[in-house]
Amino acid sequence: MIKRAITTLLISSLALGMNISPASAAVKPGSACKSEGQVTTTSGKKYTCVKKGKKLVWNKGVKSTSSDEGISVDKNLFSVDVTIPASFYEDQKITQAELDADAAKKGYGKAKLNSDGSVSFRMSKAQHKAALADMKKSIDGYIQESVNESPKIFKKISYNSDMTEFNISVDKASFEADLAAGFVGFGIALQASFYQMFNGTQTPKTQLKLIDAATGKVFDTQSWPEKE
């Protein structure tokens, strides 16, 4: 179950033209940026790209309540800039040439392998919307496959529009007797987190409610990431 969840996630990412490579690009005040007005959040600070003389640089930044541990998404007027953290590309060796070729194939305007190993993409808003739709389709496929493989356990799985809450209706006795069944929640949370981050959520949170199909009552609630 776990391997299938991760494989589904990676296939979805690659299908979108995002070869997962090195952690989110660190922004340093005074360093070069791409477009005036661009905004990004790094290490608890929100930075804006400003013009100084003839150069575009990041300003000193202001404190932000958001986190930079996830995917960075900057929604501009006509485009969307997405930076995938290096942590998503562990055990993979991605080159700039491969990114350029894949971005061209997928129709993305630009892909950049950053010095810290993160990968930045610039796409149109229409492409970003289509990418999110593909991710949702992938999650739907994973859910349907899980239900089809274990119909005696899983009865119905539904979720809200932003993929932060999932209702998982099961045969309680069968679910509790099957250790592997619990991993389905992990797979759902993993992919839902990726979807949320790609949609611009800096700190993804997913809640899974396990419902007894016989009574309609919630018998367990799981939060991802798990609370310490």
Q: How far is C-alpha 55 from the geometric centre of its chain's CA atoms?
A: 32
Residues 26 and 119 in one domain: yes
pLDDT-based confidence at residue 109 (cuts at 50, 70, 90): low
Domain-embedded: residue 61: yes
pLDDT digits (tens, 9 = 90+) for 124-136: 888 888 888 888 9
State the average pLDDT for the chain. 78
Q: Are residues 113 and 139 in the same domain?
A: no
177 and 205 part of one domain: yes
Q: What is the DSSP letter of 205?
A: -
Q: Is the domain of 66 the same as that of 135?
A: no
Of residues 200 and 107, more confidently modeled: 200
* Residue (of 135, 132, 120, 127) closest to 199 by Cα position: 132
Is 146 within a domain?
yes
Q: Are residues 137 and 86 in the same domain?
A: no
Is 116 a residue whose pLDDT tops 90? no
pTM: 0.61
pLDDT in tens, 165-189: 999 999 999 999 998 898 899 889 9
Among residues 61, 96, 124, the one where a domain terminates is: 124
Q: Which of 73, 101, 124 is the last residue before a domain boundary?
A: 124
Same domain, 94 and 29: yes
Which of 104, 124, 144 terminates a domain? The answer is: 124
**Among 83, 39, 36, 32, which residue's Cα sits nearest to residue 61?**
39
Rounded Cα gap, residues 60 and 182, in angstroms = 46
Residue 3 placed within a domain = no
From the CB of residue 26, how many other CB atoms can be counted at a distance below 10 Å? 13
The token duo for 210 is 């396990």
Full residue range of the structural domain in which residue 141 is found = 129-224
Please indicate, yes or no, whether residues 95 and 134 belong to a single structural domain of this protein. no
Residue 23 shares a structural domain with residue 117? yes
**118 plus 29 within the same structural domain:** yes
Number of domains in the chain: 2
Q: What is the DSSP string of 73-117?
A: EEE-SSEEEEEE-GGGGTT----HHHHHHHHHHHT-SEEEE-TTS
Same domain for 90 and 110, yes or no, is yes
